[in-house]
Chains A and B, each alone.
Chain A
Amino acid sequence: MSELTELTIAEAARLLRLHSISATELVTAHVEHIARVDPLVKAFLRFTPELYEKQAEEADRKLKREQGGLLTGIPVAIKDVLCVKGVETTAGSQILRGFKPPYTGTAVSRLFDEGAVMLGVTNCDEFAMGSSTENSGYFPTHNPWDLDRVPGGSSGGSAAAVAAGEAMIALGTDTGGSIRQPAAVCGVVGMKPTYGRVSRYGLIAFASSLDQIGPFARSVEDAALVLEAMAGHDPLDATSSDRPNDVRRDLDKGVKGMRLGLPREYSQVEGMEPGVNAAVREAIKALEKGGAEIVDVTLPHTDYGLAAYYIIAPAECSSNLARFDGVKYGLSVQDVDNITDMYMRARRQGFGTEVRRRIMLGTYALSSGYYDAYYLKAQKVRTLIKRDFDEAFAKCDAIVSATSPVVAFPIGSRTEDPLSMYLCDVLTLGGNLAGLPGISVPCGMSQGLPVGLQVLAPQWREDVALRVARAYEVASGVKAEVASVG
């Protein structure tokens, strides 16, 4: 393994600036590493040599003229739900096989503007629906720490790529925990920004009111940098915010004098593994040692969060996925009797089981006569959950907990039981329902597998979440390591 594939952005940027290495060398090191490792990890669905060759050359030209941006020459992997012009983008689904978007989404194009080099497209659960990447319409991805286990999901390919040193950074999307949970079980840093911080333009929607794009990295600082590069108002996304994006301003200020809340309900969730609990307790002790005051808080509606989430997200998905009708792009069926037959056959053939399940759940929840009992009620629960967080944040600056109640589980062990899969999100989806920023940082191991510490902060306070995560990283000396594969 080349050490070039273990660098952080800060380290790589220094070498690039000093011309000790070139962007082309850095990319080549990653491409060679991918060739060795990815046949085992299977983090990538597709590679984009037509992009990375040109982008690396361009980065070298800029570096020579000392005109580099925040991410010049930095190799990035992009989740298969983010549209890149001319690059096959399928949301992990057969129904979009062959679809090449005619445009590049805002977050990705902002990374490109800062000089990032795109290595390829990473695997994910189909339409980002899942917690293990086993729902991919193509193949499962393997956890670099134990190839028999899942990398989490839905952004499992992005998490695994960063964990295995196949990419320095990656983009994922988080609707109920799809960045933080795979980051936790792959032992990397993953952040979901405040809803509205990063433009969703170009993100193939799963649940529009919950989806956010965020970074994977091997350090908190790198995650902050990538977030800063892509954040900010976008005239193409009416839900994006024009608040200032100085998310790195307090990064190194430590936690001295900060109050960190421990939600009683989060340590008692169903299925919490003792090893995970122990690692998180250790992490909290380290933060306390760093000068933080630990306070008990309560999020009384936590139990209803999962139910509300699994009404709202499928309801929105049932509408968002209506456009995949076999008429305009992707899979199309021939020799049909009529338009309904065409729709039914294309969608039955193109969508996997979990996607079909959620479309049906959501369609039912929005149906006349059921809307009030399901969708409307779930929205009311969502309001209560937001209020829970408001009240908790009156008593503390940030909330800390485990990211996932469990470590990476064996491939195939939960696929027959969707409810056990849904439980993976129980500690993360509250952050989506309330629109909060949240980050997962590695906090040690349990059964030889990575555990993640989640830090949730009030809306628009990414600076707080990053500061706490960074303080933990420094205090503990626990660093995201590159897993050795094979």
Chain B
Amino acid sequence: MEVHVQPRTRTKMFCGCAIGQLGDPPNSNVCEVCMGMPGVLPVINKAAVEACLKTALALKCEIPRHTKFDRKNYMYPDLPKGYQISQYDLPMSVNGVLELDGRQVRIRRVHLEEDTGKLIHAGDKLHKARESFVDLNRAGVPLMEIVSEPDIRSADEARDYAQALRTLLRTIGASEAEMEKGQLRAEPNISIRRYGTDDLGVKTELKNINSFRALHRAIEFEVKRQIEVVEAGGTVVQETRGWSEAEQRTFSQRSKEFAEDYRYFPEPDLPPLELDRAWIEDLRRALPELPGSRRARLISDYGLPAADAASIAADRDLADLFEAAARASGDNKRTANWVIGEVAPSGKSPTPDHLAEVVTLVATGKITRDQGREVLAESMNGGGSPSEIVAKRGLAQVSDPAAVRAAVEAVIAENPKAVQDYRAGKVRVLDFLVAQVLKRDRQIDRSLANDLLKELLS
């Protein structure tokens, strides 16, 4: 699998232009350097090198003492210099590994290069267009290319690999890695192997995949297609294939028979880099705990179930919040539930102390779970600490058994039809009755009402 990732930098790979946003006017983030004017020279962006080295370290790659940039020569109007500055035989890093739920996917290399511009064809399709326009906003945007060894064996694994990579990149702050913004682009190379043999078949390379779902579907489609070709007595052609989201199929784009000779040679405008070992060690020391080891620690230290640990460890901010809040509340499992069920979907973040307070208020029966949700939401919107909100709104759970019983009995008396239905076996009516109890008094705990209704109606 080849994955292109846009490292988090303020400026482009070889000039001072801002990275810009999707939807910026064409050619608004350009200068003479990224437009390939005569006479210009590239200068390496240190922040991009740093992001690449952090990624390499997180993937346990070897970082050679020397690295250099090379020119990949080909002509196309979206490539203003007529060559792309990339890395050929001395990449920034080699021989790493990404842990994937007990499996290891070996990483062949992680290197840096620059993105190309974009062509916009007036009219419909390329071959019908009367005019084509060139937008160079993307030209020169830094890209890390992460290349795996052929260790991925299914569409599921490919998706898991890409997601794990995304989590890793976000955890270490090397990239936002948002697939829909084009910050992470996966290009799987696919071949099939007859069961019981070691020989991989001819591979095809898939492009234009812009979501994890598309990645999964495209691979499934392509594997099935290749098997059909071989079983029908045909041979798979080495080629680049695109994924059509509309038709949910892959289609041939470019056959490797016409493969270009890129005439790689060392970029003479950029002296080879000697990577300072002390700098690399500083970067290594500054790396945060990586998702794999954090997941393991959430299981071992906090006793979380594997699935909960995985979903919390996938987001560094969530995991930090969980650990701090769990320490404050002393209730790991409930804190995890609040983090996964309430905080993560909200897209907001409470302070660990506030979350711990909510967990404790609900766990000790001071407020109901529903009230807890409201308090947490208000607190995340800047409404102050949960205990202040509870005091201000006069929230308190009615836990006096006599009061609860009075309310439940009243509801049973007022709803003879529902009661009759329930007794006749329509268990779902219970939810309606619970709702009636809470309507009488919102401070009654839902589970207490539920239990008492069941008891009285049995």
On A, residues with C-beta under 8 Å from B are: 81-83, 89, 91, 96, 99, 101-103, 105, 200-205, 207-209, 235-239, 315-316, 318-319, 321-325, 327-329, 339, 343, 363, 366-368, 371, 375
Contacts and interface: CB of A to CB of B under 8 A. Distances in A.
B36 A323 contact: yes
Contact of A375 (B44, B77, B80, B265): B265
Given A236-B43, A371-B265, A319 B37 contact: no
B288 interface: no
Given A236-B43, A238-B44, A366-B73, A323 B268 contact: no
Given A81-B39, A205-B269, A319-B265, 12 more contacts: A96-B38, A103-B37, A237-B43, A238-B42, A238-B43, A238-B269, A239-B41, A239-B269, A319-B263, A323-B80, A327-B134, A339-B77
Contacts of A363: 263
Contact of B271 (A82, A239, A321): A239
Given A208-B268, A316-B268, A323 B39 contact: no
Interface string B237-272: 000000000000000000000000101110011110
B75 A201 contact: no
Nearest to A369: B261
Nearest to B40: A201
Interface in B31-81: 32, 35-44, 71, 73, 75-77, 80-81
Contact of B75 (A200, A343, A367): A343
Interface string B309-353: 000000000000000000000000000000000000000000000
A368 B263 contact: yes
Given A319-B263, A323-B38, A368-B263, A208 B269 contact: yes
B88 to A, nearest CB: 11
A202 B265 CA distance: 22
B83 interface: yes
**Would you call the interface of chain A mostly helix, strand, loop, or mixed?**
loop
10 contacts: A83-B39, A99-B38, A202-B40, A203-B39, A205-B39, A209-B268, A238-B271, A322-B75, A322-B81, A366-B263
Nearest to A103: B32
A83 B41 contact: no
A322 B43 CA distance: 20
A239 B268 CA distance: 9
Nearest to A211: B268
Interface in B1-52: 32, 35-44
B74 to A, nearest CB: 8
A328 B75 contact: no
A204 B82 contact: no
Contacts, number: 102
Contacts of A339: 76-77
B49 to A, nearest CB: 13
B38 A89 contact: yes
Given A208-B268, A319-B73, A366-B73, A235 B263 contact: no
Interface core residue of A82, A91, A209, A319 (most chain B CB under 10 Å): A319
A200 B263 contact: no
A101 B38 contact: yes
Instruction: For chain B, give the interface size range.
Output: 20 to 34
A452 B71 CA distance: 38
Contacts of B32: 101-103
Nearest to A364: B263
Nearest to B32: A103
B15 to A, nearest CB: 9
Contacts of A321: 82
Interface centre among B37, B38, B41, B75 (most CB of A within 10 A): B38
> Top 9 A-B pairs ranked by shortest CB distance?
A322-B82, A366-B263, A208-B268, A209-B268, A204-B38, A83-B39, A202-B39, A204-B39, A323-B82
Contacts of B37: 83, 101-103, 328-329
Most buried by B among A82, A327, A329, A371: A327
A193 B38 CA distance: 22
Q: Which of B32, B43, B265 has the most CB of A within 10 A?
A: B265
Nearest to B273: A238
Most buried by A among B32, B37, B39: B39
A362 to B, nearest CB: 9
B39 A201 contact: yes
A375 B266 CA distance: 11
Contacts of A202: 39-40
Contacts of B36: 323, 328
Contacts of B38: 83, 89, 91, 96, 99, 101, 204-205, 323-324, 329
A367 B41 contact: no
Contact of B41 (A200, A316, A328, A371): A200
Given A236-B43, A238-B271, A322 B73 contact: yes
Nearest to B77: A327
Contacts of A367: 261, 263
